[in-house]
Structure 1
Amino acid sequence: MLNALQTRILAVVAFLVAVAALSSAVWWFGYQSALDQLEQRGRSDLALASDRLTGELSRYRELAVLMADHPVVAAAVDGRGAGAADLLRETADKTGSLDILVVSRNGGEVASASGTGAEAHGTTPYFDRAMDGALGIYHLVHDRYGQRTFLFAAPVFSAEGPVAGAVIVVVNVDAVEAVWRGARPTVFFTDDLGVTFISNRSELVFMARDPRAALRGDTAEYAQGVLRPFITYEARDQRGHSVWSVQGQRYVPQRALHLSLPLPVIQMTGEALLDVAPARLLARLQAGVAAAICLAFGAMLFLATERRRTLAEANARLETAVEARTAELSRTNADLRHEVSERIATEAQLKKAQADLVQAGKLSALGQMSAGISHELNQPLMAIRSYAENAEAFLDRGKADVAGQNLGRIADLARRMGRIIRNLRAFAKQESEGMTDVDLSGVITAVLEITQTRAKTSGVDILWTPPATPLIVRGGEVRLQQVVLNLVSNAMDAMEGQDAAQRIELDAAMVDGRVELYVRDTGPGLDEPDRIFDPFYSTKQVSQDGMGLGLSISYGLVQSFGGMIRGRNHPAGGAVFTVTLDAAERAEAAA
């Protein structure tokens, strides 16, 4: 028991160590991937900030070149221009320049926009480069203006060709820098001395990596005491990324990715510090997710193992109980099978009884119509006999044409009797023919032929006007006759014995793409319209011998056609039954 417990503990410890190692690996690779993405985004931001600075300074560089070609400036260099100061002042106001100077060949100021006095430029690097015929660029903390400046010196060529002087455009760095001060990420621009001259973090300005290198040649770029020690940082190389750990800076990230971009156009280097906290957070989240997944999988595996062991022990205990219960369950199963067999036999008997009741209902309906059917068959038989005797007499007299007419009438009566017998036989046997296109008018006419004698005997007027256009529906002709016969017979039964006029109205019409048949009587109406289609529900008197199956059978037949049958009371009295059937889609049927 103790050995098993020790084994499980060692397995858990080994698993936790493996999870810790995997999480560390995930953190490292996630951190490196995040640094790659951060560097890519940071280089884009640094390039954008550098382009913004160089673009802003380019306006003043182009201004210096354009002013060098101005005739008033050329005249001022030669000592002939009296209105140069006004031109320079107006141009400085319009362009936002701090100052614009015109300098002669010997380095003395000829005119300026500020008019603050004469300054010697003869020994400055930017003036020397202008005298060489090129554009001079320089930056410094100018004592004359008391702030950081950029100087662009453009040569002014004489008419003979040599350089006669220079135009110097002085740019206020504070005005250029104010547009993007405080933006992210931290960006600063350093010169070749390592001094931060421009930055979107004001606390980084004038910080120098080596303050002792503040002098260059004979001209100081920075006034005495301006430079400050650079930020305290520790740089670490992480697979090609330079990550700084910065100390003592409030607005600079404590841990940042350092990027640099040379800018030879303005003789500076753009640098950026990007906060790596989001990258570290992302790496920690990835490592945490990996650890959580491993721990969850390990926990499920451990629980599954423990559950399997517990189930194995429980299985051994259950086997005995199962064996004890098997015999008892076998006996119970035998009893259940016997009960199921009895229920199946009972269900079969019930279905047979229902079928017998349906057939009995049909035969009952035939019995009710037997008197009318006998009259319907007897009347044509008597007429056939009469026409046959007349035809014989006419033949003896040589009147073959008149005899032929009588024989034609005999044929019509025979067809009528055959149709009546065929409908009765189909009704009695309940033939199950497939769905076909049926002429509803022909079905109604056939039913009225069967019920004609009973209607006359009972004094019932049947009103039916066939529509001008045949109404072709989907269904079975014999089964549809059975439905219409049930409705007409029920209507006669409902009106039997009443003193008021007995009338049955039949109508059929096309409504919303379907055919609707209406059967209305003038009887007492329906007592319970919601129950009329229930099996064995009947409101007939005992003497009328009704089983309550006619409407139930009709409901099932109409449902089998995909149609619908409804019954309701008419506002003027009596009951109305509506049979809705699908219209046939064949074009020739409509014709």
Structure 2
Amino acid sequence: MIKTATTEENGAVSPHVAGLKRRVRRAWLIFAAVFVVGAVLVALAANRYGRDAAVADLLAQGRTEINLKSALLRSVLERPRALPLVLSQDRDVSDALLTRSASDVDRLNRKLEALVTGTKAAVIYVTNDRGVAIASSNWQEKTSFVGSDYSFRAYFRDAMANGAGEQFALGSVSNRPGLYISNRVLSDGRMLGVVVVKMEFEQLENDWRDSGRPAFITGSEKVVLVTNLPSWRFMTVGQLDPGAASAIRESLQFGGAPLQPLPLRQAAPLPDGITTVRAVLPGGGEASFIELQTEVATTSWVLHYLVPLQPALGDAVWQTMFLAFAVFLGLSVLTAIVMWRRQANLFGQARAALARAELERRVRERTRDLSRARDLLQAEVSEHRNTEQRLKGVQQELVAANRLAILGQVAAGVAHEINQPLATIRAYAENAQTFLERQKIDTARENVGLIVDLTQRIATITDELRAFARKGRGAPEPVPLRNVLEGAVVLLKTRFAGRIEAIVIDLPAEDFNVLGNRIRLEQVFINLFQNALEALQDRADARVEVTVEKTMTGVTVHVADNGPGIPPEIRDVLFTPFNTSKEQGLGLGLVISKEILADYGGAISVESDETGTRFAVGLKGA
């Protein structure tokens, strides 16, 4: 508390002191009111900003994910569509429909059974012109389709009338949902029957279920066909017209499904018209979601994707509010300190004015001291403000530099990491073209399948790099070391054809599981094997020896070549970005490899001389 003189001799100036006290009280009341109003405004602004920023992030992420799901769905749908057309022109199919002999039907049954394994279709069957199945890939099973009448199915009627048809329905025999794709069989203009391929989406639904976010597909009838929430299957978007619902039930397209509406209700829209819904999830929990939709090309289907608003929205709002309040409170405390010091100066001056006459000299000296202290304080405050402005400038420059550095590393990493899969894809594509020209369709189809797997690998690599930039590294898991080494060799086999035999992998009988991610660990050994093969070039005695040594914490993989060795000037900065002895190299392969190993508790070291180069890769056991 600031003390003031109250002696009788100072009574002449007591009104001045009383007025000063009133002004001080009024100043603190105004400060308190401004603080309360400011706190409310900061809370509202922080809530709005944090909410908008979180919604924007969720929307961008959701659009990316729904586009990926839609692309995957289209690729899954396109694979079996050509099969009915090809089979409708097959001699075995037309012979079985024409002769109906036991030998022809038996041959067709076995052929369809073999095709199911290679095409990943659920079942393939052939019906006569009356819709009765005469042959099926499941002819040996208890739930065989042979002898079943499918004339009531729309896909049969459409194929007979128009040549082809598609229908999503619940199997009348298997009681499993799927997409039926059909094609008419003709012989000299006569309609013999229909070839039907049934495709099921159980694997696709399982893949969607791993994301933890509701996703479902609706057809033209607004009925849920495919979903990662089994209890939502065959429910409807909104209430169906009674006539339409009755027609669907009579057709047995979805069996005895009640066709009840989905447990969704529209919620208040977010800014920019973003649609939100409240959904009752299996188990009774209710949550809010952003609803995204996209049409599936070449179908009448619509893909729906629900992105949960919580906890991401709540976390973002609380983080923003915490930061805003921290800044606001800091400014308020600084203002209060300045006010208090200013008022202390004013009361000090008042006490000096009330001093007795004999103390005037000391009062003047004290006043000069106080003035000097005030000047120093003001200079210090000014210097603090200038320093704060400079710090803000430096922080902004550092943020900009950091963003540019991260952008450069991600761009260079993507270019480097997908180089090998792209080279392999090109080789497989050229081989597939050659096989097609030679009419080796099965071999060409196998190469195309390998290309699909490698494109998925590229997608996984870009997801890993995007996850590194946004969220950090994924959780490690047990990975068989043998699979990692063999996978790296497979990816290099086409590019180094004729030289890949130089890699000799000596693995012990006991297989080891190491901690990490298979694709990222393959990247490490792809870099090491590629560097070794490029260093050996066309040497007749080229040899790359890969051995495994068990350690206390895991294993050490040794990769040794008999090349010319690494120059000392390069070896000293081998794990520094952008240092390389290759004309077309980026100098990032070993840097990225070291970072990948560090993520999983591993390490890498190198020894090199004129007899060759030896890398030691330490991995943790799982």
Q: TM-score, normalised by structure 1?
A: 0.50
Tell me which structure has the larger Cα radius of gyration: 1
